[in-house]
C-alpha cells in the first residue's frame, strides 16, 4: 500500500505516462521521410524498407555500443548510415535529425496530464526520469519540474537502480521518500521498487500485472493520484 506520509518528491516517466509516444514517433518519422524524399531520395527509399532499417539499427548496436542509452545519437547515426549507403551527403544527417527531433517534441498530452502536473508540482518537487529523448523545455513542461534525469546524460537507463537514486538526489531526497510514476511494468514499477522507492504504476490499457512483487499503487489515470493527495490535505 502507498504510504502518502513518506512522499517528499515525485519522479515521472514521460513517454506513455504523460503522452502517448507512438503517434508522436509516427509523425516524426513521416516528417523525416518527407525531408529525405525532397533532399535525399535514395536514402528515403532505404528508410521506407523496414528490413534495411532493422539491419542498420543492428549494425549500430554492434559497432556503436557507446550509443546504447542515447536515442538521439542512435537516430542520427541511423540517418547517417542510410545517407552513406545511398551515396548521398552523409554530412546532412544532423540537419535531417533536427527535422525528426523537432516533430518528436510536438507531443499530445493525455487529458489528465497538465492539470495533474500543476496540482502535484505545487505540493512536491517533481523530477522527470526517462530512457527517451524528450526535451521538457521544447515539449513545454519544464516549468513543472525541478530536475530532469535521462539515460542519455546519466549513462545508464531504467530499470538500473542507480538512475533512480540519481533522480532522488536531483531533488535532494532519499529514494525511500520518492514516489515514482510510470507506465512500464519493468522499467518503471519494478525498477522503482528495486531502488527503494514507492511505485505508482499507471495502467491506462488494463494490462495484467505479471510479477509477484506489486506496485504500491495502480492507477488508470493521474487524476486518481491527485485525488489521493487532495483527500490527504
pLDDT value at residue 86: 96
Domains belonging to the chain, first-starting first, are 4-19+109-232 (3.40.50.1000), 22-104 (1.20.120.1600)
pLDDT digits (tens, 9 = 90+) for 202-226: 999 989 999 888 999 999 999 999 9
pLDDT value at residue 229: 94
| 227 HSE (CA, 13 A, CB side) | 8
Mean pLDDT across the stretch 180-199? 97
Helix (H) or strand (E) run with residue 200 in it: strand 198-202
3-state secondary structure of 102: helix
More confident residue, 174 or 1: 174
pLDDT digits (tens, 9 = 90+) for 51-103: 999 999 999 999 999 999 999 999 999 999 999 999 999 999 999 999 999 99
pLDDT digits (tens, 9 = 90+) for 126-151: 999 999 999 999 999 999 999 999 99
Helix (H) or strand (E) run with residue 41 in it: helix 41-47
Amino acid at each position: 500500500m502507498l504510504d502518502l506520509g513518506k512522499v517528499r518528491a515525485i519522479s515521472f516517466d514521460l513517454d506513455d505516462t504523460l503522452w502517448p509516444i507512438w503517434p508522436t514517433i509516427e509523425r516524426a518519422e513521416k516528417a523525416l521521410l518527407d525531408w529525405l524524399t525532397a533532399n535525399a531520395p535514395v536514402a528515403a527509399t532505404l528508410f521506407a524498407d523496414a528490413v534495411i532499417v532493422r539491419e542498420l539499427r543492428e549494425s549500430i548496436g554492434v559497432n556503436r555500443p557507446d550509443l546504447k542509452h542515447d536515442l538521439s545519437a542512435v537516430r542520427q547515426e541511423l540517418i547517417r548510415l542510410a545517407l552513406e549507403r545511398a551515396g548521398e551527403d552523409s554530412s546532412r544527417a544532423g540537419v535531417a535529425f533536427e527535422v525528426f527531433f523537432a516533430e518528436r517534441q510536438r507531443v499530445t498530452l493525455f487529458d489528465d496530464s497538465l492539470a495533474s502536473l500543476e496540482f502535484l508540482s505545487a505540493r512536491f518537487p517533481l523530477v522527470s526520469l526517462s530512457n527517451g529523448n524528450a526535451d521538457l523545455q521544447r515539449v513545454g513542461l519544464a516549468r513543472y519540474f525541478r530536475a530532469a534525469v535521462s539515460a542519455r546524460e546519466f549513462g545508464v537507463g531504467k530499470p538500473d537502480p542507480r538512475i533512480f537514486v540519481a533522480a532522488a538526489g536531483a531533488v535532494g531526497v532519499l529514494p525511500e521518500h520518492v514516489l515514482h510514476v510510470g507506465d512500464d511494468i519493468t522499467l518503471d514499477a519494478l525498477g522503482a521498487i528495486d531502488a527503494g522507492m514507492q511505485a505508482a504504476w499507471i495502467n491506462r490499457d488494463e494490462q495484467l500485472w505479471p510479477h509477484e512483487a506489486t506496485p504500491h499503487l495502480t492507477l488508470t489515470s493521474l487524476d486518481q493520484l491527485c485525488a489521493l493527495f487532495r483527500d490527504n490535505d
